[in-house]
Structures are given as C-alpha cells and as structure tokens.
Amino acid sequence: MTRAICLLALLGLSSPLAAQAIIEGVGADSRIAKPEPPKTAFEVARTRQVHALFGQCVVKRHQTAASNYVLQVDLDRKQRTKLQDKVADGECLGEAVKVGSFDLAMKLPGDTLRYTLADALIRAELPSSPIATFAGVPRLGQRKLDAADFEPKAGSRPSERTLQALKEARSIALAAIFMSAVGECVVRTDPLGSFALLGTSVGSTEESARVKALITPLSACIPADKKLSLDTSVVRGIVALNYYRLAKASRPVEAGASQ
C-alpha cells in the first residue's frame, strides 16, 4: 500500500480542483489561463472536503510543523521542501479519502497547502477567539520570487515544453504573491467577517453567504487595473492564510497592551 502527497516543486496558485484565478496586469507573464474545471460539481465539493479533512489530520499530528509552514512564507527551495516533507502525511490522505489499499496521490499546487493548513490551524488554535482589529499589527511580509525556481538546471538543454512550464509557473507564483496581499487587505478590512467565514463548513450554504458578505472588502482590496475570477475555495484560502498570520503576529501586541 502506497500513499503519497504530490507537492509541485514550483509553487503556483491555480488548481483545476481547488483554486482557480485569472489575473491580468501583474507583470509581463501575468496572464494565467483558467484551468479546465472538474467534470461535475460533486468533484469540486468532494475535493474541498478531502482537503479540509487532510488539513485537520495534519494539524492534529504535526501542529508545530504545520504552523511553521504557514507562517514561514519566504523560504528557499531546500527549506520549503524540508517543511513540506514534515506535513505531507500520506496516512492523513488515506484517512481523508477513506479508501482501502489503493495507491493515492494528491496535488496541492500554489498556496493550496498553506490555505488548507491555515484553515485547520485556526480551528485548532483560535476556535472561538475572533479578533476585532489588526490595526496594531505591522504589514505582513510576502513571499519573494526566487528566480532560481523558474530557470532550467545549469548545463541542461530544456525542451520548449519545459521552458513554457517554467514560464507559466513563474506567472502563477506571481499570482499567488499578489493574492496573498489581497487576502491580508480583506482580513484587515473585515476581521470579524473573515473569522465568521472560517467558522463555516466547507461547501455549506452558510459558507457561500459569508463569502458574499466579503464581496465589498474584496472589491476594495483589488486594484482597479486588475481583473480577477475567484471561486469560494480561493477566497476562503486567502482569508485563512492571512487571518492566521495576522492573529499570530498580533499576540505580542495584545500581551503588551494588557500589561
């Protein structure tokens, strides 16, 4: 029996099952082709549920590593891989999918893994502690683009297909960085609404209602020259990632204020 988590070496944002986005104007290579959607709505719902269950299992088993992976966004490839290996728990995938002895693999491209773990971490660490404002928390640092991640190996003779894949991966990474900044803006603008979204069940009607309630801050946080097409999983993901990071960053501020 083999169970494995397949994590893309080049981190991006879009996934045909979990996260879709079109961004224009982020840079020379900024246009992202929208992936083909799953064949049925059930596949989308089922995949999101698996991601949620997987994240909860990983946080239960490896909470410190999961927290480090979410909080330490600007890592080099070696550091990133080391942390990914700690949280890529194949047994958690088996539990989430609930299958027998089948070989399993799950791709978590872009910031999908961070979204998944942040959501589960909030449930584990901040289940009933909404924060009314993050005004005293300094602006979060965002991941920096590492050019080495998007260049062919030295001395190699890459094919056109490889070069195109690297180019697309770079565009997707830029999009992920951009979306993280949007998420931080949304959470700062409406922290209580953001927390309320994260308290809903994945795929529920309440989740949809909470996402709609965040349309105003979302619109305000997206520059006028950018065009985005976001699904519920992306909105929830960027909110979870940034709410968790801001909440963790706010703790020293809150402690100091109470003294």
CB-based burial label for 198 (10 Å; 0-12, 13-18, 19+): buried
| DSSP state for residue 202 in the 8-state scheme | T
User: Identity (one letter) of the amino acid at 188?
Assistant: R
How large is the angle between the packed helices 112-125 and 63-71, nearest 10 degrees? Answer: 120
Distance CA 82, CA 96 (A): 23
Kindly report, residue by residue over 29-56, the tens digit of the pLDDT. Answer: 333 334 444 445 547 778 888 899 999 9
Per the document, the length of the chain is 259
**What does the domain layout of the chain look like in residue ranges?**
41-258
Which H, E and C letters describe 210-242, residue by residue? HHHHCHHHHHHHCCCCCCCCCCHHHHHHHHHHH
Structure tokens at 147: 């050019």
Mean pLDDT to the nearest integer, 203-218? 94
Q: HSE-up of 65 (CA within 13 Å, CB side)?
A: 19
More confident residue, 64 or 95: 64
The residue written with tokens 């959501």 in the block is 119
Distance CA 46, CA 84 (A): 23
More confident residue, 34 or 184: 184
Structure tokens at 177: 């960085």
pLDDT of residue 252: 54
DSSP-assigned states of every residue in 94-146: HHHHT-SS--B--B--TTHHHHHHHHHHHHHH-TT---S--TTSPPPP-PPP-
CB-based burial label for 8 (10 Å; 0-12, 13-18, 19+): middle
pLDDT of residue 14: 34
Those residues whose C-beta lies under 8 Å from the C-beta of residue 229, and which sit 6 or more positions away, are 20, 21, 22, 34
pLDDT, averaged across the chain: 78
Structure tokens at 2: 């083999």
pLDDT band at 65 (very low <50, low <70, confident <90, very high): very high
Report yes or no: 18 and 232 within 8 Å, Cβ to Cβ. Answer: no
Phi, psi of 104 (to 5 degrees): -130, 145
More confident residue, 131 or 129: 131
Distance of CA 212 to the CA centre of its chain: 19
